[in-house]
Amino acid sequence: MARPREDLAARFWAKVDKRGPDECWPWTGGKRRKGYGAIGEGGRGGKMLVASRLAYELQNGPIPEGHQVLHSCDNPPCCNGAHLFTGTNLDNIGDMREKGRQRYVGGPRKLTEEQRQAIRLDTRPQDDIARDFGVDQSTISRIKREVSLQSLHGPLT
């Protein structure tokens, strides 16, 4: 059985470093990948909640259906409700592009054909290649797969 919401709120705020009203309030508890805070809902089998989503709900009310919680500060562990706003996935992608945080081909960091050829020939682990080129590992995988697709189906158009 889940713990009462008041108990969850108390546990939550005990793990937030509240600072000035305009500063980030970092989550000090456990974190998920990419630095987002996480807290257990409570009770056996309770689900894990994303700290910034819970922070938004506690300070601003319910999250509209189909919306995500976005950070104006671009700081994943931040729980300051003044830094959090909701938007669709498309809004989130637009915010990411506008702020230059997109790391894959097609965004601000577009690869040249020469770079793509170098990637195809590189035998190192894909994570290492991605780091060197400033792109996501999935971009490296996609570029490497193009070679095998071209050998099966001819040039990609």
pLDDT number for residue 135: 81
Q: Which domains does the chain have, with CATH numbers?
A: 5-98 (3.90.75), 113-153 (no CATH)
Confidence bin at 124 (pLDDT 50/70/90): confident
CA-nearest of 112, 108, 89 to 99 is 108
Rounded average pLDDT over 129-138: 82
pLDDT tens-digit readout, 16-28: 999 999 999 999 9
Q: In terms of pLDDT, which residue wins out, 49 or 128? A: 49
Question: Given a cut of 70, is residue 150 above it in pLDDT?
Answer: no
**Which residues, other chains included, contact 49 with Cβ-Cβ below 8 Å and sequence gap of 6+?**
38, 39, 40, 41
In sequence order, what DSSP letters do the residues of 40-88 get, joined into one string? E-SSTTPPEEEHHHHHHHHHH-PPPTT-EEEETT--TTB--GGGEEEE-
Sign of CA dihedral 92, 95, 101, 104: positive
Q: Specify the pTM.
A: 0.62
